[in-house]
Each structure stands twice: as C-alpha cells, then as structure tokens.
Amino acid sequence: DAGVIQSPRHEVTEMGQEVTLRCKPISGHNSLFWYRQTMMRGLELLIYFNNNVPIDDSGMPEDRFSAKMPNASFSTLKIQPSEPRDSAVYFCASSPGPNTQYFGPGTRLTVL
Amino acid sequence: AQSVTQPDIHITVSEGASLELRCNYSYGATPYLFWYVQSPGQGLQLLLKYFSGDTLVQGIKGFEAEFKRSQSSFNLRKPSVHWSDAAEYFCAVGAKGTYKYIFGTGTRLKVLA
C-alpha cells in the first residue's frame, strides 16, 4: 500500500498567487481530512470529507481557502490569493472508519 | 473546555535510558486517546490508541501508554530509547465514532548517543 500521497512536497510562492495542494487517499478509505500545522497553532483540522462530500468545513480559515474532492481518489486544497500567514505544513489524512486516520507526508508551503 | 496538554515542549534523553512523555486531557465525553509520532519531514504515524479495557496499551516500536482516568492522563513510555526515536510526539483525544481530534502541541524528543 502506497499510503496517502501528497504533492507537491514543498511549495514556495509569492503573496497573491494561487496555490493548489493535492492529495490521493489510500484506496478504499471513505473519509479524507485536510490539516494545517503551524508552530503557533499546532495541528488544526481544516475540512473533512466523507464519501467525497464535505461534512465539516468549520476549520477553513477564510474564503480564500477552498477544498474539493471530485472523486474517491483525489482531493485538492486551494488558496487564492495566498498570504504570508498561510505558510505552514498542510497534511492530508484518510480513514476507513471513525477513530482511525492515516496521514500523508505533508506539503510545506512558504508564501513570500 | 476540551483540550490536550503536553507540558514538555522538549525532552532530551540518552540512548538506552527510559522515557516518559506526559499528556493530560480535558474532555466532556468518554475519551478515545491516541499517540502519534512525527519524524522530520514525515506525516504523523499512529503509535497506539486507547478506547476501553486494559488501561495499559501496547503500541508499535516498543512504546506503551497508560490511561489514568482519575488523573486525566495518558502518558507514553518506553523502557529503552533508541536514537531512531528522535522525533516529535503528539497526544490526541476524540470521542467514540468521531472524526475530529484535539491534538496537543507536541513534545520534541532528542536522543543523545
């Protein structure tokens, strides 16, 4: 099993640019999560999908952030426009059921 | 308020020494408790979890944790640390059937040769 796959692993962009982060969950998992990790706030849940449907997006910080899951094997997290305070490590995780999550390696985003 | 506290931001131990990482939680419902490890540049890997039953749970890589309801604690232990254990460790709490965890701020472990 390849595990959760995220791309890119590192992204450096300039303020105002659009950023798209990608995630491929583990095959057969029906839940997908996007997290953000920063020194100041730790690990925060941004959004949760179940069967490709967004269930809880209360953690999405503002309208500049959007997430989609067009099918069971792919999800994107988009930031538009990006700001320096968006710099963080973004993790995707997938789950076959409650109380079990498998994390990807993360995307380190730097917004200059 | 629901929260997870890991009071030690950094811990340094010598290789072969024993290790205990502290985790205290405040949670309204019956807690499901987790320990994750994050190696540099990697995602979080589940070490162990406690749902119910025996309060001493065994995990991967020789780790164990003990749930103490009276102290609202779930401390992680290892009898003999290896250099490869150097990483950041996160405690988390959630409810039965939940997808939403509350994570602690992490404890960074350094291992001296």
Nearest C-alpha neighbor of B45 from the set A71, A4, A68, A80: A4
Q: In the predicted model, what is the mean pLDDT of chain B?
A: 93
Q: Are A43 and B103 inside 8 Å of each other by CB?
A: yes
Q: pLDDT at residue A93 above 90? A: yes
Q: Which long-range contacts (CB under 8 A, 24 or more apart) does B47-54 make?
A: B47/B76, B47/B89, B48/B76, B49/A99, B50/B74, B51/A99, B51/B96
pLDDT at A15 over 70: yes
3 state DSSP class of A52: coil
* CB spacing of A105 vs B41 below 8 angstroms: yes
At residue A1 the predicted structure's pLDDT band, cuts being 50, 70 and 90, is low
Compute the average pLDDT of residues B38-61. 92
The confidence score (pLDDT) of residue B100 equals 83
Asked if pLDDT for residue A12 goes beyond 90, the answer is yes
> What distance in Å separates residue B95's CA from the closest CA in chain A?
8
B51 contacts in A (CB within 8 Å)?
99
User: Which residues in chain A are closer than 8 Å to B39, comparing Cβ atoms?
Assistant: none
Q: Which residues of A touch B41 (CB under 8 A)?
A: 105-106
